[in-house]
Structure 1
Amino acid sequence: MKRIQQGFTLIELMIVVAIIGILAAVAIPAYQDYTVRAKLSELTSLTSPARMAIGVYCSDNGGSFTALTGASLSAASGSVTLGDNVIPLPGAAKYTASANVTAANGMVTAVAGPTTSGLPATVAGTNITWTPTCSTAGTTWAVAGSIPAKFYPKP
């Protein structure tokens, strides 16, 4: 007599559950890193007007930062008012605590917000710095900071 199989065996079901468990073990940490990078992109976008002003200043001054001040950056780009070298953040800044420009060398520093803003403890209160290299060919940026390197933005 022929017997027709009408379902899955216990071993087949256990194999499927094991495969799903392995995929979840790999996917969840990758997704968490992705969400942190997405939140930290706010630091990059809020400091981009200052970095643009530094690039314009570099181009206008023959590849030199010798006379760089907050006032000269404000003159280079009407959209950025640096005053005492502190970049004003919009009221909607959720993950950025502060940002500033060092007038002597044009280094832009952004500090991540606290854990209450939704950032994990590993990145809360850490910073990202963009250090410019000014030449007649243009401005290049080196990215560093106290955040883990896997969360660095692309320069």
Structure 2
Amino acid sequence: MTRHKKGFTLIELLIVVVIIGILAAIAIPKFTNTKAKAYVSAMKADLRNLATAQEQYAADSAGNYKNVTVTANASPVAVGGGMNFTPSPNVGLTTTVDNTSNPKTWTTAATHSAAPGVTCTMTLAGVITGC
């Protein structure tokens, strides 16, 4: 009577483990920047939304823009004061306005509490730089 052993040999199992290790070594570095990219995307989205809110505010305020300072907070609050804008969680915004120049201008810097050292800046022209 012949007995057939079923199962994998040690060599076969080692080869599978090595292949999984190689695939992980390739895939993991591709996902390391995913969070940082998401933080930058949140900052850019808030800058664009704030630009829309600034234009709406200016339309109701004789062309004047609003100074906005929002501290990065996990539970953001609306800007208020005639401006309809609530930033994303953990995004801080600082707007510098010059309502005395002709044309009037503003510049906003956005930061994210989970991405230290990264600042996105947007001007009235709608150009986002720095991130």
Q: TM-score, normalised by structure 2?
A: 0.58
Q: For 1:127, give the aligned amino acid.
A: T
Q: Which has more radius of gyration?
A: 2
- Structure 1 equivalent of residue 42 of structure 2: 42
Q: TM-score, normalised by structure 1?
A: 0.52
CA contact (8 A) 2:107 2:122 kept: yes
The whole-number CA distance in structure 2 between the counterparts of 1:41 and 1:130 is 13
Q: Structure 2 matches for 1:34-113, cutoff 5 A?
A: 34-53=34-53, 74-76=57-59, 83=66, 85-88=67-70, 90-91=76-77, 93-103=88-98, 105-113=105-113
The whole-number CA distance in structure 2 between the counterparts of 1:19 and 1:100 is 52
Q: For 1:75, give the aligned amino acid.
A: A
The whole-number CA distance in structure 2 between the counterparts of 1:77 and 1:88 is 21
- Structure 1 equivalent of residue 116 of structure 2: 124
Flag structure 1 segments of 5+ consecutive residues without an equivalent.
57-72, 114-118, 134-140, 148-155
The whole-number CA distance in structure 1 between the counterparts of 2:60 and 2:124 is 17
Deviation, structure 1 residue 110: 0.7
Flag structure 2 segments of 5+ consecutive residues without an equivalent.
78-86, 99-103
CA contact (8 A) 2:65 2:97 kept: no
- Structure 1 equivalent of residue 129 of structure 2: 144
Question: Considering only aligned residues, what root-mean-square deviation do their CA atoms show, in Å?
Answer: 3.4
CA contact (8 A) 2:43 2:110 kept: yes
- Structure 2 equivalent of residue 152 of structure 1: none
**SS of the residue aligned with 1:107?**
strand
The whole-number CA distance in structure 1 between the counterparts of 2:58 and 2:128 is 25
CA contact (8 A) 1:99 1:109 kept: yes
- Give percent identity, aligned residues only: 32
Deviation, structure 1 residue 124: 0.8
